[in-house]
Amino acid sequence: MNTPAFLALAALTATSFAQTGSAYEKAAGIRYAKLDFAEASLEDAVAFLRKASAPLAPDKVSFNLVIQPGKSVPKPITLHLANIPAPEAVRYCAEAAGYNVRWSGGFAVISDQNPPMLPDVAFLAGGVGFAKKMSGVVFPRLEFRASTTREALEFVAKKARELAPAGPILNIIVQSPIAAKAAISAKAIPGLEGAVIIAGLDPAPTAPAPSATQSPEIGERELTLTVNNTPVPELLRIIAFLTGTTVRWDSNAVVLGDKGSEKRPEVVNTVAIKGRLIMEKLASIEIPKLEFREAKMSECAAFLSKKLKELDPEGKGFNLLASGASAEQTLTFKLDKIPALEALRYMAELSGTDLRIEHNALVFQAK
pLDDT in tens, the chain (367 residues): 444 344 333 433 333 334 667 899 999 999 999 999 999 999 999 999 999 999 999 999 999 999 998 889 999 999 999 999 999 999 999 999 999 999 988 999 999 998 888 787 899 879 999 999 999 999 999 999 999 999 999 999 999 999 999 989 999 999 875 433 333 233 333 333 333 333 323 333 344 444 444 567 888 999 999 999 999 999 999 999 999 899 999 999 999 998 777 777 788 999 999 999 999 999 999 999 999 999 888 888 888 889 999 999 999 989 887 776 566 778 899 999 999 999 999 998 888 888 899 988 898 887 7
In a domain, 305, yes or no: yes
One domain, residues 323 and 206: yes
One domain, residues 62 and 204: no
Bridge partner list, 55: none
CA distance 62 to 89: 14
CATH of the domain at 48: 3.55.50.10
One domain, residues 53 and 200: no
Q: What is the number of residues in the chain? A: 367
In a domain, 245, yes or no: no
* Torsion, CA 47, CA 109, CA 154, CA 334, rounded to 10: -170
Q: What is the pTM of this model?
A: 0.81
pLDDT digits (tens, 9 = 90+) for 46-94: 999 999 999 999 999 999 999 998 889 999 999 999 999 999 999 999 9
User: What is the predicted pLDDT for the residue at 62?
Assistant: 95
Q: How many domains does the chain have?
A: 2
pLDDT digits (tens, 9 = 90+) for 186-215: 333 333 333 333 332 333 334 444 444 456
Q: Which of 96, 117, 138 is the last residue of a domain?
A: 117
User: What is the predicted pLDDT for the residue at 192?
Assistant: 31
One domain, residues 65 and 200: no
Which residues form the domain of 90?
A: 17-117
Bridge partner list, 289: 336
In a domain, 335, yes or no: yes
In a domain, 251, yes or no: no
Q: What are phi and psi of 249, to 5 degrees?
A: -95, 115
CA distance 317 to 310: 8
Q: Which of 67, 85, 117 is the last residue of a domain?
A: 117
Sign of CA dihedral 54, 57, 59, 61: negative
Bridge partner list, 81: 35
